[in-house]
Amino acid sequence: MRRRLFGMTASVAAFGLIGSLATACGSPEGDTTTLRLVVPEYGTGPTTGSKAYWDKLTSAFAAAHPGKKVEVTLFPWADVDREVTRMVQENNAPDVALMGAYSDFAAEGRLYAAGEVMSIRAEANFLRPLADAGTVDGTLYGLPFVASSRLLFYNKALFDEAGAKPPKTWSELKDAAEALKKEGVLYPYALPLGPEEAHAEALIWELSNGGGYTDRSGGYDIASEQNAETFRWIKDNLVAPALTGPVPPAELNRQDAFAAFLRGDVGMLNGYPSLLHEARAKGVKVGTLPMPVSDTLGDEETPPAAGVADWMMAFKRDGNRELVGSFLNFVYEDENLSEFAGRYHLLPSTVSATQASRYAAADPSAEQFLIALRTAQLYPVDNPSWLQVSNTVKRNIGKAVAPSADPRIVLEQIAQQAQDAARQD
């Protein structure tokens, strides 16, 4: 999941942030009074940039811990994982990093377990699906920070004009898409299988047919019969009849699909809380519902929603354990975590912050995402090979619905690369 969580890609360099903060990683190796923090940019421009939040938080931390300070380095989401990896390889790891995956560093023995740096209460406070995803061999290493679940969004105005009904099954989704196409909607169903975040869209569809990336034992099962059936159905019933838009799915990125939805050019797509907020701000009337299930499953089974989280991790360094622990316990206080989640219309990762979140109180619709998150299935981020595997999926899964493709062959090729990556780890 080495990607930014929810659609707010921005060139931090354009904000003038990286240049002013990049010196943060120059702290001496033996300095136990300065914590080096690396975080990604969640904002979309100067007014929504993450710097203001971290400035406020680190100032408050320094005031509460005299003699201690935090130096922050901000990177764009596209760069943060690569930059942290580079720092680790150069034996210059930060004390704490926030990014899209953690298990490769945990497998190398570089991370503190949560129990080594957090209070018992703080460690026990994480929402269960997120804590499970952050756990390797019974030990919590990945500290979930903010999260989301995915629901199907539909444009109510376009549905009303087309006489379409909100779908509960794949066949109903196809019927709605056909009705929308007759009304001239450019993207009856937006299918973003481009390299930005194709692995998210793919998982949503796989889960809706009883599939997924892994089997019950946790091993990769990308080319399962359910998954092959899923992409075959998408290809034959949505892509072939041109119900997915003028842009081929393999070339459509999530951010572009979201922008088209906000313009009123999309009838349906999968989204998360921040998109709902943006749509309402633009006057788009949006309906939300769980992802429709395959007709094979029907009403007999309710598959989990797809869930996504970003992860904090604490790197081991001589003498830094106490400082890291103080900072992490401070970050995960309800007020601090809720403020960040509310700023970007995401979901906080802890039970108490979820209950106390000002965002949840201000926007009752967030409850539907919270409900979905409680039973959601996340990426297999506890597998050290997931970084490599997710990149393979992002680059290749769109090929499974290409006109001349055999979905099973494409999935088998991805599965083989996943098995090779797993063996290397």
Tokens representing 164 are 């379409």
- Per-residue pLDDT tens over the stretch 273-290: 889 989 999 999 999 999
- Per-residue pLDDT tens over the stretch 236-251: 999 999 999 999 999 9
Question: Is residue 44 over pLDDT 90?
Answer: no
Taking residues 128-140, report their average pLDDT: 94
- When pLDDT is cut at 50, 70 and 90, the band that residue 401 belongs to is very high
For residue 61, what pLDDT is reported? 97
How far is the C-alpha of 109 from the C-alpha of 348, rounded, in Å? 27
Give the lowest-confidence range in 292-301, 308-317, 354-363, 406-415.
354-363
The residue among 144, 107, 147 whose CA lies nearest residue 311 is 144
In a 3-state reduction of DSSP, which class is residue 39? Answer: strand
The residue among 294, 290, 259, 272 whose CA lies nearest residue 187 is 259
For 18, 113, 339, the CA distances from 40, given in Å and listed in that order, are 11, 22, 16
pTM over 0.75: yes
For residue 23, what pLDDT is reported? 33
Phi, psi of 246 (to 5 degrees): -75, -15
Q: Is the separation of the CB atoms in 219 and 210 below 8 Å?
A: no
- When pLDDT is cut at 50, 70 and 90, the band that residue 354 belongs to is confident
For residue 18, what pLDDT is reported? 40
**What is the rounded average pLDDT for all residues in the chain?**
89
Using alpha carbons only, give the angle 304, 77, 380 rounded to the nearest 5 degrees.
Answer: 30
> How many residues appear in the chain?
425
For residue 15, what pLDDT is reported? 38
The residue among 28, 271, 2 whose CA lies nearest residue 149 is 271
- Tell me the residue ranges of DSSP E strands in 8-142: 34-40, 69-75, 96-99, 135-136, 139-140
- When pLDDT is cut at 50, 70 and 90, the band that residue 20 belongs to is very low
The residue among 89, 95, 99, 113 whose CA lies nearest residue 30 is 95
- Alpha-carbon dihedral 373, 374, 375, 377, rounded to 10 degrees: 40
More confident residue, 267 or 81: 267
Question: Is residue 22 over pLDDT 70?
Answer: no
- Per-residue pLDDT tens over the stretch 65-85: 999 999 999 999 878 988 999
Taking residues 366-371, report their average pLDDT: 84
End-to-end CA distance of the chain: 17
Taking residues 175-180, report their average pLDDT: 98
How far is the C-alpha of 103 from the C-alpha of 106, rounded, in Å? 5
Taking residues 311-321, report their average pLDDT: 96
Taking residues 244-264, report their average pLDDT: 96
| Percent of the chain residues topping a pLDDT of 70 | 90
How far is the C-alpha of 347 from the C-alpha of 308, rounded, in Å? 10
What count of Cα atoms within 13 Å lies in the side-chain half-sphere of residue 284?
25
Helix axis angle for 386-396 and 198-207, nearest 10°, is: 90
How far is the C-alpha of 156 from the C-alpha of 161, rounded, in Å? 9
Taking residues 346-359, report their average pLDDT: 82
Which value, in Å, is the radius of gyration of the alpha carbons in the chain?
A: 21
- When pLDDT is cut at 50, 70 and 90, the band that residue 150 belongs to is very high
- When pLDDT is cut at 50, 70 and 90, the band that residue 101 belongs to is confident
Tokens representing 189 are 């169903």
